[in-house]
Structure 1
Amino acid sequence: MDDYHQHDHHKRFRLVSKTGECLVVFKISTKERLLAYLRDSFTSFIDMKWRYHFLGFFGTCFATWTIFGLIWYATVDANDTATNSTVSSCIGEVFSMGEAILFSYESQSTVGYGSRYLLPECNFGGYILQILQIFVGVLTPCIISGILFTKSRRPKRRSETIVFSEMATIITKKKKRRLFQFRIGNIRQSNIISTSVRVFVVKERKTNEGEVIPFCLHQLPISTRYEGRKEDEEDNPNLIFLPWPVMVTHIIDMDSPLKDIQDTTLKFEIIVLFEGIVESTGKPSQFRTSYTPDEIIWHHKFAPIVMEFKKAEGEIIKDIIDIDYFTFNITSPVNRAASREHVITKTERAKI
């Protein structure tokens, strides 16, 4: 394999993983965390894993059936004691706790009473209890269905079809301009609408008073360019349309937070936020990734990915645009001298 495409994998602290997960741990007492989650219970339920959702669904149903069954059994026993009756005078064909739970299930699930039904001789509390259980039986599935529907519509899995280049590059253009670049692509036919890209760099900063701020956030001004367009033709990053991959560029000048990027002792992380609305669901979503110094290739450029060709279908010739995602992450050195400089820089960074 080409030396320029071999990358070190020594561990380095990062805030955002390559898959977009925020690697931040909050130190807070268990009691405070539990109270905070309970106050925002709906979001807590949404964030639960699917297995806990199904476990909660069956657990809630079983718990309500059992609780109401026990209450029904106590109601039947109290009514029989008050009337000195030797047979059930409240619910027909209910003589044990198991039959009371079965009656509770039949009432709450509205499957029909069969031989078990509420008798006119039951006291007023029995009617109130039945109305309450019917209300709970209607409300519980509505809440559970709402949670499951909301969770199923979350565009979390959509992030797997929005791809970022595994590595970023820095190349020198005309007038010795250094450009930091990476790619964004969409491998699904449905589009992301109302999109925008924001890029931040997190690095250590020392104030004039000598105070060290370990995680100082700076936003990088960027521009975008579609694959196949001239390098000088750049667009507003807030007007991104992804029929084919987009190249995102930041110019490293004297005002850039990355002006000292050649310093091998500099530790930083570049965080990319791509936001938009999923066309198929109408849900806003955010896709994230990040680049550490080990994931930046110096003096390399990305290989072309968009190709045009003509395809004959009978007597009709169609113009076809082919997007080769097999070359999405492939880079090539600009020249051999620059390539040697990149190897030296990367070797020095590996010692940090």
Structure 2
Amino acid sequence: MLSRKGLIPEDYVLTRLAEDVLQPKFKAKPGKARFVDKNGTCNVAHTNIREQGRFLQDVFTTLVDLKWLHTLIIFTMSFLCSWLLFGMIWWLVAFAHGDLDQRGDDFVPCVTDIHSFSSAFLFSIEVQVTIGFGARMITEECVSAIIILIMQNIVGLIINAIMLGCIFMKTAQANRRAETLIFSKHAVISVRNNKLCFMIRIGDLRKSMIISATVRMQVVKRTTTEEGEVVPLDQIDIHMDNPVGTNGIFLVSPLIICHVIDKDSPLYKLSASDLQHEDIEVIVVLEGVVETTGITTQARTSYVSDEILWGQRFVPTVSAEDGMYAVDYSKFGNTVKVPTPCCSAKKLDEAGGIAQFKLCEGVTLRTSMRKRRASRRSRMES
């Protein structure tokens, strides 16, 4: 993250931007393994892979996926090994032709000024990196030397293309752009437009836009089929009711992504108490094309049960100032409590919807108030 690289202070780390300092910090249940970490990395270990040779069939992707230290070691060793290999070949050519022996002025060597392996190694470097100091050069005396010169130039071009392309791809990887795509640390469940909704907030810290940005959500939980088969990581897609009506979003300011908990939702039967005991994880994937580079990028995060706040909603972050809109990222993850039924969306629908719930709640409230007033009067009379 940016804080690890020293670009911004620790107090303004991206995870802090999505967190209200006044809110309690929730921790995942002990022993609960996340499928996707908060920073977007997939928490999956691949073990017992017997066909390791498949990685060598796609050498370029394997090199790009390696760590920077391993990539730089391979980058350096590929050039050193090629220089040493062709340096040995040039020394053998000079040795076979007799260039290492002292001859008269009328003797024409294959390569001038090669007297030892060190000079042959220096000539190999000059040929491959096209330095050409001028002291050593090839002559027309040996056809084999001309062929070796052509071969070394071709090999050098191949190494340059692969290794420089690998370095470029590692520096321009799409996940670097995802560092400035942020998610709220907590998800919330509250009433919106008379419907119980699951909501998160996403934002982009850069001014350069993400083109064709889309958001997808999945619920990952342990399920059992009707035949008794246990699926440890069952991925269930959930539909979203985004501000623009589709999965595509216009991410110029922080947006609240909303999922209406209806009968087709995997959260339909969960109540506030059930959520604390249910072992579920909601994965959010934001994907789009980087405007400046045209590379597709993807940012991911997840929310476990303890990170879903029931009966709260996000506070506004956008305000109009001097003819333009200003975004206050200090409020990005702030939430406030709002009246929300604690029952599941299923029971809410069976009770007649949120309107009927509010009516019943009002009746219950008036009855309780009357009882309290009657008890106070009886106490005062006694």
Q: Is 1:73 equivalent to 2:91 in the alignment? A: yes
CA RMSD of aligned residues (A): 2.4
Other structure's SS at 1:289 match: strand
State the Cα distance separating 1:191 from its structure 2 match. 0.5
Change (3 A) 1:197 1:74: same
- 1:136-215 equivalence runs, <5 A: 136-173=155-192, 175=194, 177-215=195-233
Q: CA deviation at 1:156?
A: 1.5
Please identify the structure whose Cα radius of gyration is greater.
2
Out of 290, 293, 296, the position equivalent to 1:278 is 290
- For residue 254 of structure 1, report the CA deviation from its aligned partner: 2.8
More strand by share: 1
Distance (Å, rounded) in 2 between the aligned partners of 1:77 and 1:42:
38
For 1:212 and 1:261, locate their aligned partners in 2 and report how far apart those are by CA, in whole Å: 21
CA distance 1:127–1:256, shift in 2 (3 Å): same
Shift of 1:332: 1.3
- 1:52-93 deviation line (CA, Å, top 9, x unaligned): 333222221111111100111111112229xx9644833222
Task: Return the offset for 1:130.
Answer: 1.3
What are the within-5 Å matches in structure 2 for residues 1-352 of structure 1? 5-11=24-30, 12-29=32-49, 32-33=51-52, 35-80=53-98, 86-87=102-103, 89-122=109-142, 124-173=143-192, 175=194, 177-225=195-243, 235-262=244-271, 263=274, 264-310=276-322, 319-335=323-339
Structure 1 spans left out of the alignment, 5+ residues: 226-234, 311-318, 340-352
Amino acid at match of 1:191: M
Q: What is the CA distance between 1:305 and its match in structure 2?
A: 0.7
Name the aligned partner's letter for residue 297 of structure 2: S
TM-superposed deviation, 1:2:
8.4
Q: Distance in 1 between matches of 2:101 and 2:208?
A: 69
User: 2:267, 2:59 → 1: CA distance?
Assistant: 42
Q: How many residues align?
A: 315
In 2, Cα distance between equivalents of 1:38 and 1:2: 48
After TM superposition, give the deviation of residue 174 of structure 1 in Å: 5.9
Paired letter, 2:209: N
- TM-score (norm: length of structure 2): 0.76
- Superimposed CA distance per residue, residues 304-323 of structure 1 (whole angstroms, 9 cap, x where no aligned partner): 1111133xxxxxxxx12111
TM-score (norm 1): 0.83
Q: Which amino acid aligns with 1:326?
A: S
Tell me, yes or no, if the aligned pair for 1:80 and 1:90 is still in contact at 8 Å.
Answer: no
Distance between the aligned counterparts of 1:192 and 1:174, measured in 2? 29
8 Å CA contact retained: 2:240, 2:257: yes
Q: Which runs of 5+ in 2 are unaligned?
A: 1-19, 343-382
SS of aligned partner of 2:82: helix
The answer to whether the Cα contact below 8 Å between 1:192 and 1:279 also exists between their aligned partners in 2 is: yes
Question: Identical aligned pairs, as a percentage?
Answer: 35
User: In the TM superposition, what whole-angstrom CA distance separates every residue of 1:153-194 from its partner, at most 9, and x where no partner exists?
Assistant: 32211111111100000113565x321100011111011111
Are 1:103 and 1:113, in contact at CA under 8 Å, matched by a contact in 2?
no
Q: Provide the C-alpha distance between the structure 2 equivalents of 1:67 and 1:147, rounded to a whole number of angstroms.
A: 23
Residues 56 and 3 of structure 1: CA distance in aligned 2, closer, same or farther (over 3 Å): closer
- SS of the residue 1:135 aligns to: helix
